[in-house]
Amino acid sequence: MMRNILIAEDEPDIQELLCAYLREAGYEPHAAGDGVSALSLFQTRSFDLVLLDIMLPKIDGFGVCEMIRRQSQVPILMLTALDGEEQQLKGFGMDIDDYVTKPFSMPVLLEKIRVILRRSSGAGEENYLRYRDLVIDRDAREALLDGERLDLTAREFELLYTFLDAPGRVFTREMLLAKLWGYDFYGDERVVDSHIKNLRHKLKRDYIETVRGVGYRAAKEIP
């Protein structure tokens, strides 16, 4: 089922960019350019998440958030050009789920949306996965290939789990850096390539595919 996302953003270029990326990622975006329109649109349908800019005309993002919270616990991800601690604490005090500071990375934003929606749906992470002749036990931090334990580093294990938890999904280097190295990582993206090269060597099988010019994935077709 396609997830509905309300975008409350007054800058037309950013609004258009968000709508395009969200559609491409499989979501259904609905945009409003001011706080009054956002609240009106919120009443028209059920939304799975709200992307809420703080600096909205008519009613600012904090006002919109307060009114939404009076009737709904829908996840709220705030977009802001204000990176001060006071603003963030104010938002968290109003029970928002996360912040993204402008200018933001679109892959990182999409990953935050995915994590928030997964958490809000009540679907806990699967800790035990099977993929072909691989068995992954996240609680024990073990990966078994043909019954033999693979000697993986912590980062290699998380990379492998990330791919096998979503077979067929393409992860860009930037997405993997944000997910496994942290949003504030400023190192060379080639660190991802190096870890995947080592992981492939240990697997000795072509389970991780390169999507040329994009990133990596585990094949969706599982025999």
Do 153 and 170 belong together in one domain? yes
When divided into structural domains, the chain yields a total of 2
Residue 154 has pLDDT above 90, yes or no: no
Residue 185 has pLDDT above 80, yes or no: no
Distance, in Å, from the CA atom of 15 to the CA atom of 31, rounded to the nearest integer, reads: 7
Do 138 and 104 belong together in one domain? no
- 134, 188 contact by CB (below 8 A): no
Q: Using the 3D structure, point to which of 87, 102, 120 is the last residue of a domain.
A: 120
Do 143 and 93 belong together in one domain? no
Q: Using the 3D structure, point to which of 81, 98, 120 is the last residue of a domain.
A: 120
Do 132 and 201 belong together in one domain? yes
pLDDT per residue over 205-217, tens digit each? 889 999 988 899 9
Do 99 and 134 belong together in one domain? no
List, in sequence order, every beta strand (DSSP E) within 33-191: 49-53, 76-80, 98-101, 128-131, 134-137, 142-145, 148-149, 171-172
Confidence (pLDDT) at 182: 65
Do 105 and 21 belong together in one domain? yes
What order of strands is seen across the sheet that includes strand 148-149?
128-131, 134-137, 142-145, 148-149
Query: Is residue 19 a part of any domain in this protein?
Result: yes
Supply the CATH number for residue 70's domain: 3.40.50.2300
pLDDT per residue over 99-129, tens digit each? 888 888 888 888 889 888 877 765 444 567 8
Q: Which residue would you say has higher pLDDT here, 21 or 219?
A: 21
Query: Is residue 66 a part of any domain in this protein?
Result: yes
Distance, in Å, from the CA atom of 98 to the CA atom of 23, rounded to the nearest integer, reads: 21
- Does the reported pTM lie above 0.95? no
Do 19 and 47 belong together in one domain? yes
Confidence (pLDDT) at 125: 47
Query: Is residue 72 a part of any domain in this protein?
Result: yes
pLDDT per residue over 162-177, tens digit each? 898 888 888 888 888 8
Do 102 and 149 belong together in one domain? no
The one-letter code for the residue type at 52 is: L
5: helix, coil or strand? Answer: strand
- Match 């749906």 to its residue by tokens: 121
Q: Which range of residues forms the domain containing residue 159?
A: 128-218
Query: Is residue 223 a part of any domain in this protein?
Result: no
Nearest to 38 by CA among 22, 14, 58: 58
Distance, in Å, from the CA atom of 181 to the CA atom of 187, rounded to the nearest integer, reads: 10
Do 162 and 106 belong together in one domain? no
